[in-house]
Each structure stands twice: as structure tokens, then as C-alpha cells.
Amino acid sequence: MAPRRIRIAALVPGFDVEGTIAAVVDGARQHVEHVLVVDDGSRDATADVARAAGAEVLRHGENRGKGAALRSGLIRLLASGFTHAFTLDGDGQHLADEMPGLVREAAAQPDAIVLGARRIADTQEVAPIKRFGNGFANWWVSLAAGVELRDTQSGFRVYPIATVLGLGIRAERFEFESEVLILAARRGIGVRTLDVAVHYPPPGERVSHYEPWLDTCRIIFTVVPFLVGLRR
């Protein structure tokens, strides 16, 4: 049987990332046929810069959260005939040169979610609270999923669009990506993990809207209903 053909587009949720979005769009365009940026209520020129760089732009009138932006983008891409979405963050931490490996894995395993686990170089400075939050979230998400998962907070992924939309994800913010993995694992959908390099700018130059304590709590509140049997 011939391999099933996939059609893949990049999906970039962004909020106030006018300084980095053009490079993200340009890099992604080297590896996929189409780039969709979901401007999640930015107060700056994110939408205009992304459009000038060659992306299609879908704009939320107000900030609704990363999960809401991803859901809007997945729905748009499915309606446009794409089977898979390659998600990247708009802040430039994900390296476009790492995309081909995940694209190949998605083509070989089209029913699976392909996750890029960030490989942080010794020379890169990452705040201790961020390292703790990622490790803590990995533990909780793996517990709820029933399988060990690495780097559950990485936004560098390939999603089979119809499958992910069919999971019934409820989360609207950063916990969206955790809920996807939990439901996928519980429903027998494969999660393939590849190590990828990542770029962390110096702390003063980073654009991040992840709030370590608040968003980690949101992840826990997403996980607990699965652990106590309120969700399956």
C-alpha cells in the first residue's frame, strides 16, 4: 500500500511578537507550502509584519490565549485542505532548520502527533523556575496520560488536524498542549518524540507570556479531572 499523502502547513500563534515573527515566517516557508499566523489580539504590528513576510493572517480581536489561537488555526487549515499543522511559537525559540526531521516523521506516521523535545545547550541560560515548571508539568501530564512523555510544554509539533480537533480539547491557554497529549495517549493515538535544538535569547530579549505559577496551576487543574475519573 502506498504511503498516505499528507499536506502540511505551519501554524504560528502569536501575541505581541512583531520583532520576531518575520524571521519565524520566513524560516517556516522554507520547509512547508503555507504559513498561517494567528494574531491573538496583539497590541503591536504583529499581523502586518507577518503578512508582509508572506503569511496568511487570522486575527483575534482580543487576546484569548494560545490554545484558542491554535484551535482557530487548526479549523482554518482543515477548511483549506491541509491534513497536518506544524506548530511553532512566534517568539523565535524554535529553529526552522529542525523542521524537516519532524516533517519526515509525520509523513511516515501520519496518524501520530510528532513532538519536538527541546535540547537545551549548556551555554543557554534558562531560569530555574522555568526548568522546574517544565519538569513539574511533564510529571503531571505523564501521570494523567498513562505513558511517559518528554517536554510536554514544547510548542514545536506536527498535529494530524482532524484527529486533534476530534479530541474535544477544552483548554484555551497554555494548557491546551498538555490536554492534547493526555487525550491522545488515552485514546491510543501515537506520540512520536524527536530531540530538537532550540534557541533561547538572553533573558532581557525574550518574549514570553507564560506565567510559571499561574500557567502551571492551569495545567494541574487540567490534569486532575483525568486522575480522579471525571474525564476519560
Structural domain includes residue 139: yes
Q: Above pLDDT 90, what percent of the chain? A: 72
Pick from 159, 175, 147: which is nearest to 87 by CA?
Answer: 159
Structural domain includes residue 232: no
Distance (Å, whole) CA 140 – CA 166: 23
> How far, in Å, are 4, 59, 63, 196 from residue 43 at the CA level?
41, 11, 9, 31
Q: How many domains does the chain have?
A: 1
Q: How many CB atoms lie within 10 A of CB 170?
A: 13
What average pLDDT does the chain have? 90
- pLDDT digits 0-9 by tens, 48-94: 999 999 999 999 999 999 999 999 999 999 999 999 999 999 999 99
Pick from 70, 221, 142: which is nearest to 60 by CA?
Answer: 70
- pLDDT digits 0-9 by tens, 121-138: 544 455 544 554 667 788
pLDDT value for 3: 61
Q: Give residue 201's pLDDT band: very low, low, confident or very high (50, 70, 90).
A: low
The domain that holds 84 is classified in CATH as 3.90.550.10
pLDDT value for 123: 42
Residue 8, C-alpha cell as written in the block: 502540511
| Listed range (12-26, 155-169, 203-217) with the worst mean pLDDT | 203-217
Structural domain includes residue 199: yes
Distance (Å, whole) CA 24 – CA 46: 12
Pick from 26, 24, 22: which is nearest to 155 by CA?
Answer: 24
Answer yes or no: are the C-beta atoms of 113 and 86 closer than 8 Å. Answer: no
Structural domain includes residue 2: no
Structural domain includes residue 1: no
Structural domain includes residue 27: yes
Residue 214, C-alpha cell as written in the block: 499561574
Structural domain includes residue 114: yes
Structural domain includes residue 3: no
Residue 11 sits at φ, ψ, to 5 deg, of: -125, 120
Structural domain including 209 reads 8-227
User: Residue 198 pairs with which residues in a beta bridge?
Assistant: 94
According to DSSP, residue 189 is labeled -
